[in-house]
Amino acid sequence: MSQSVFNLVADIGGTNIRLGIARANGEVNEITVYQCRDFDSLQAVVEHYLADNHISDSKINACFAIACPVENDLIQMTNLPWQFSKSELKEQLNLNKLLVINDYTAIAYAVPFLTEQQKVQIGAGEAQSGKPISICGPGTGLGVANVVSVAGKWIALSGEGGHVDFAPIDETEVKIFEYLSQKYAHVSYEQLLSGLGIEQIYQALVSIKGVDLPELSASEISEKALSNECSVCLETLEQFCKILGSFAGNLALTLASFGGVYIAGGIVPRFIEFFNQSEFRSRFESKGRLAQFNQNIPTFVITESQPGILGASAYLRQHNKEEL
């Protein structure tokens, strides 16, 4: 009797690790979330999951999306004291196949397969089938990736686009840039479009206005803005949305992203209604002679809570097809 084959996928962050079993249709079932701090290594948590699901002795193809560079055999996690050799881990877990990809590469592979229920469109524009797609994700940092269709399959193009130079658009942003220039030799978009970025926009506005306000976390700033409790917090969130619009519009111009520009990460989905009414879309389109170019490109917020694990499933599924 032939041995059962299981496709194991994982999304590994600095705090949580999500593991699941991918089906042929792309669905991921038996998803379990573990706290990374409860385990000494990636091997330990994977072995625990395999035992819990009674598949330790099965033939397993695996794809792990992980929040760190993955080019070398030795993987050293950025926000965890975990490190492992890809080749050794494959042997230790007795895997038939092990693919390791960056977490934003995984999100890029997930995006072409998102349903209408897994995203919300912001503004006008209509996605063109098979055209390039760009993704940016304000969260702990600012992740950026692109995905293009080549010969009937999707290819992710990853990079460090969140660290490109911040380009202020108006007088307020020039003052914010000047404030941050006193702290950093290089002011990147990540310094404004991340959790830390929200805090730094707030700090800059407090300094510019010369008001006496307490230091606040990104979540506190957002809460006070949404409840209209603090005018500086409200201006901070408005400024965040505008800057994100300018940045997303730059991505659209760079790659001609007629498949759409997608906002990932954990920040924006918390205030989608506010975001939809903000100047995000007008900034996205405000590109001078190329305004009409961007007006035709749609923008979306990803609301799916597990894009990384879905992307690992899509990547593994495509890789398996290539071997047939």
Q: What is the CATH number of the domain that holds 212?
A: 3.40.367.20
> The pTM is what?
0.87
Per-residue confidence (pLDDT) for residue 322, from 0 to 100: 63
Do 239 and 132 fall within a single domain? yes
Do 19 and 97 fall within a single domain? yes
Per-residue confidence (pLDDT) for residue 159, from 0 to 100: 81
Assigned domain for 217 exists: yes
Per-residue confidence (pLDDT) for residue 97, from 0 to 100: 93
Exposed/middle/buried for 303, CB within 10 Å: 0-12, 13-18, 19+?
middle
Do 39 and 169 fall within a single domain? no
Which residue range is the domain that position 77 belongs to?
5-101
Is 10 annotated among the ligand-binding residues? yes
Is 14 annotated among the ligand-binding residues? yes
Is 15 annotated among the ligand-binding residues? yes
Per-residue confidence (pLDDT) for residue 71, from 0 to 100: 86
Do 136 and 34 fall within a single domain? no
Do 295 and 148 fall within a single domain? yes
Per-residue confidence (pLDDT) for residue 1, from 0 to 100: 39
Residues of the chain with pLDDT under 50: 1, 324
